[in-house]
Amino acid sequence: AQSVTQLGSHVSVSEGALVLLRCNYSSSVPPYLFWYVQYPNQGLQLLLKYTSAATLVKGINGFEAEFKKSETSFHLTKPSAHMSDAAEYFCAVSLAFSGGYNKLIFGAGTRLAVHP
């Protein structure tokens, strides 16, 4: 069964430092993977998605993620953290079933704190 594991429920970085948020997935079929960001008291905003076109995916706000099949990973990175990046980040895999519907399976989330 498909599942997503996010390593580290809390990550703290200094402003300007590298951001690395880890995500590992398990999937019996080629996965479609997503990173979403959630700011306090808001819904989810898509940062980027992997749909098998390219293993290195660039998203909004300077974020990117690399799909590594051999490691079953889809880690999210940003070269230089900004204070506005402080939020909760969710990795998700899209699972399609027969009958034509699909759902997103989310990890537990990683809260990113950015300090001056």
Partner 1 sequence: DAGVTQSPTHLIKTRGQHVTLRCSPISGHKSVSWYQQVLGQGPQFIFQYYEKEERGRGNFPDRFSARQFPNYSSELNVNALLLGDSALYLCASSLAGLDNGQGAFEQFFGPGTRLTVL
Q: CA-to-CA distance for 114 and 58, rounded, in angstroms?
A: 21
Is 18 one of the binding residues for partner 1 (CB under 8 A)? no
Between 70 and 97, CB nearer to partner 1: 97
Min dist. Cβ of residue 39 to partner 1 (A)? 10
Closer CB to partner 1, 29 or 116, in the complex: 29
Part in contact with partner 1 (CB under 8 A); list of ranges 13-21, 61-69, 70-78, 101-109: 101-109
- Judged by CB under 8 A, which stretch of 15-23, 59-67, 77-85, 106-114 contacts partner 1? 106-114
Retrieve residue 50's tokens: 């992997």
The mark string for 35-64 relative to partner 1 (x by CB under 8 A, - otherwise) is -x----xxxxxx--x-xx------------
Q: Two tokens at 93?
A: 């895999």
Instruction: State the Cα–Cα distance between residues 1 and 86, nearest whole angstrom.
Output: 31
Buried b (16+ CB within 10 A) or exposed e, 68-100: eeeeebbbbebeebeeebbbbbbbbbbbeeeee
Asked if residue 5 binds partner 1 (CB under 8 A), the reply is no
